[in-house]
Amino acid sequence: MRFSTVLLTAVSLLAPAAMSQDLITPIKIQFTNLELADYYDQTNVTYKTVNNASIDAVIFVPKGLKHKPAPVVVQFHGGALVVGTNPEPAFFPNWVMNLPRANNAILVSPAYRLAPEAKAYQILEDIRDFWKWLHSGTFQKALPNNVSADLSKILVAGESAGGYLSLQSALLFNDIAKIKAVIAQYPGGWPDIKGFNPTPAVVDPALNKFLDDFLKTVNPGEDVLSQSPWPQRADLFNAIFATGRLREMYGTPEDLVPATLEYALKKATSVPPVWFLQGDHDSIVPKETTDEVIAKLKKAHPKTDIKYTVRPGEHGFDGFYSLDKPFIAEGVAFVKKYWLRDGR
């Protein structure tokens, strides 16, 4: 048993509320990276360039995968669209990491520009361009010689901001993406949702000054940053949520329009099945916000097949769960009915 696994076992015995973030983060990062290296062959590919900066996707092929065309899992990392890398080992749930391997599928984790260097609509432009790249033929050429992908069987998943990007992909870009099913874990990012990063009753002036000083160092819409592995910029992340200024990080009110749920629901013609996963004590993406997203989705697209799993826990509560956890197994069975089905 690896050292990281021993530590993980000890930490997992604690209730989530008792876990120190200082303890969880290094264990999760080490564990995730070791598991990925053990079970997948990795290839980094640039899918677009912005201002001479590469925006990359990482392709993970399960070791021993045969030539038979393999289904695809696309995973968007979380981090409030402000922090993270692809995939982000501190946030990447164990069960999602192992889902492709358990189904002889290829895992693809794209980077995207981060805010506040990028505006919300520019991040969505990256997501659109990723899907174009995936279906362009370039992706297939980047695979090992003995591997091919079945792009008629695509599952998209993501936690937090990654859940937002997963569902936005299905709403805004599915004519390009051709997604069969969506996993949206405690998804957050729509600036028109009521519970989106409210301003606290009491705000530390020092945190506002920190953000003001930080914003003076960037040129929003021009600078390009697509990699910020946790805990880099953790101080920025924490200051944003403590001051309620996340909308400001995403741009002007005009910049935010293409990022809203209202805009996406109007643009979508049909929506693939979605499994929502939510913690009932989530302080970053409160359950009430996911309730609102689902209610509006059902109203706009009543034929969409939706599964909603609510469990006790905070943001990222499923990080250490495995595929055999009963409610995880049930949700995975739901999406597999659509993801791995032949035809439309």
At residue 191, the pLDDT reads: 97
Report the length, in residues, of the chain.
344
pLDDT computed for residue 17 by the predictor: 40
Tokens 């015995």 sit on residue: 13
How far apart (Å, rounded) are the C-alpha atoms in residues 78 and 7?
24
Beta bridge partners of 176: none
Report the pLDDT value the prediction gives residue 206, as an integer from 0 to 100.
98
Contact 273, 181 (CB under 8 A): yes
Cα separation, 217 vs 123, in Å, equals: 20
**Confidence tier at 66 by pLDDT (50, 70, 90):** confident
68-85 pLDDT tens trace: 899 999 999 999 999 999
pTM confidence score: 0.93
In sequence order, the 6+-apart residues with CB closer than 8 A to the CB of 278 are: 185, 186, 285, 287, 290, 308, 309, 310, 311
Query: Helices marked H in the chain — which ranges?
Result: 3-12, 21-39, 94-102, 120-134, 138-142, 161-172, 174-177, 205-215, 234-243, 246-250, 253-256, 261-267, 287-300, 326-339
* Mean predicted confidence (pLDDT) in 56-64: 97
- Write the DSSP assignment of 136-169 as a string of letters: SSHHHHHS-TT--EEEEEEEEEEETHHHHHHHHH
Q: Which two tokens stand for residue 309?
A: 């799993």
Residue 344, pLDDT > 70, answer no
In angstroms, the CA 324 to CA 304 distance is 27
Residue with tokens 């914003």: 215
Query: Residue 16: its pLDDT value, please?
Result: 40
**Is the pLDDT assigned to residue 11 strictly greater than 60?**
no
Label residue 20 by pLDDT band (50, 70, 90).
low
- Tell me what percent of the residues of the chain surpass a pLDDT of 90: 89
Which residue, among 280, 302, 299, 300, has the nearest Cα to 290 in the 3D structure? 280
Mean of pLDDT values over 101-118: 98
Comparing 21-35, 37-51, 89-103, 226-240, the range with the smallest average pLDDT is 21-35
d(CA 99, CA 77): 15
pLDDT for res 145: 85
pLDDT band at residue 342 under the 50/70/90 scheme: confident
The pLDDT tens digits of the residues spanning 125-161 come to 999 999 999 999 999 999 988 899 999 999 999 999 9
Hey, what are 56's tokens? 């990359």
On whether the CB atoms of residues 297 and 187 are closer than 8 A, the answer is no
Span 27-57, pLDDT tens digits: 999 999 999 999 999 999 999 999 999 999 9
pLDDT confidence of 19, banded at 50, 70, 90? Answer: very low
**How much is the average pLDDT of 196-213?**
96
pLDDT at residue 314 is higher than 50: yes
Instruction: Say how far apart CA 200 and CA 203 lie, in whole Å.
Output: 6
Average pLDDT over all residues of the chain: 92
- Taking residues 115-119, report their average pLDDT: 98
